Amino acid sequence: MSGGGGAGVLGAGSSYQSFVRTALELTRLRTALTPHPSQEKFRLIRANDDATVLDALSFSGPKIRLLRSLTVEKKNSVQVLDFAAFSEPEYDLPIFCANAFTTPAQSIVVLDLNPLYNITKNKDYKDKYYRNLMPLIEKYRELLPWGGKITSESLIFFSPIVIWTIFEPTEQNHHVLYSALTDYYKVWLQLMDQATQENDTTKVVRNREAQHRYLTWRAEKDPGFPLLKKLIGESHAKDLVTEFLFEGVHSLGSKSFLDYFPEYARDDGTVNKKRSMVGKSFETRPWDATGKFIGGKDAGCDL
């Protein structure tokens, strides 16, 4: 990306809050939002130090089980965005996922419509949601280039249109990121508008378990947990992860992380906490322009 613009956290003093406001405005143009029960519990969350501000918002809507946002801002130090949208189980929509971590030195971003189902094995699902979206990644693949080596474990819930990038946090670069965040979220809202309710109980149950599997993975593997632990303490951080960021992990299903991912079991029955423990790594985008996975059969994870 270009290095133009003034350096600093989010360029010239901008904030991830601007995207959150835009996303909520765009959503309210299409559907009614009501506060999610989790918002009441976490909206007043405070960091241990006065210099850091946390802001937690969560909503639900007719087709939206959970729309939630967490931002962390510490002036001239760090800014974090964790924004996600989950459909009701009556719909098999991908999960909108926007994660950004910015310091004065760099911004690390993952932006995607995470697939609910395995798109390598489920071609119908891939064609339904991603075949017509490939121009979206073509628009940004040079502006927001692949961020370098990433393990196949990290790809487990990525789609062919994922943006995984690292760049200098200049104002110009963050204008590009804001554009990508908005474009991707508009696409998710369009998919939501077009979605028709599933009346087959078996398929609804399958959707619910697929979303629970995703939540279980994300709650166990959340890379932001160490920062949250530092800011609000371990107990509050665990509650924030399981009852806000990935709310539903305790209510959508009863299976454990090891039920879904037994390859992470240690001999004593506990979860192997070592990150990126399986599979090869990818230094370049492992999908071609049509969305076909070209990373090889030895990727080492359930893509």
10-residue mean pLDDT series, the chain (303 residues): 45 75 98 96 93 96 98 93 98 98 96 95 95 96 93 88 96 96 98 97 98 97 94 97 98 97 92 67 91 72 43
- Enumerate residues 6+ apart whose C-beta is below 8 A from 12: 5, 6, 171
Q: Residue 245 has what DSSP assignment? A: I
pLDDT, residue 10, reads 54
- Enumerate residues 6+ apart whose C-beta is below 8 A from 31: 61, 62, 63, 64, 192
The rounded distance, in Å, linking the Cα atoms of 11 and 41 is 32
pLDDT, residue 14, reads 59
- For residues 277 and 129, the answer to whether their CB atoms sit within 8 Å is no
- For residues 221 and 264, the answer to whether their CB atoms sit within 8 Å is no
Q: What interhelical angle do 171-194 and 17-28 show, nearest 10?
A: 20
pLDDT, residue 300, reads 41
pLDDT, residue 153, reads 82
- For residues 285 and 145, the answer to whether their CB atoms sit within 8 Å is no
Residue type present at position 74: K
pLDDT, residue 278, reads 53
pLDDT, residue 208, reads 98
pLDDT, residue 296, reads 72
- For residues 241 and 198, the answer to whether their CB atoms sit within 8 Å is no
pLDDT, residue 7, reads 41
pLDDT, residue 274, reads 73
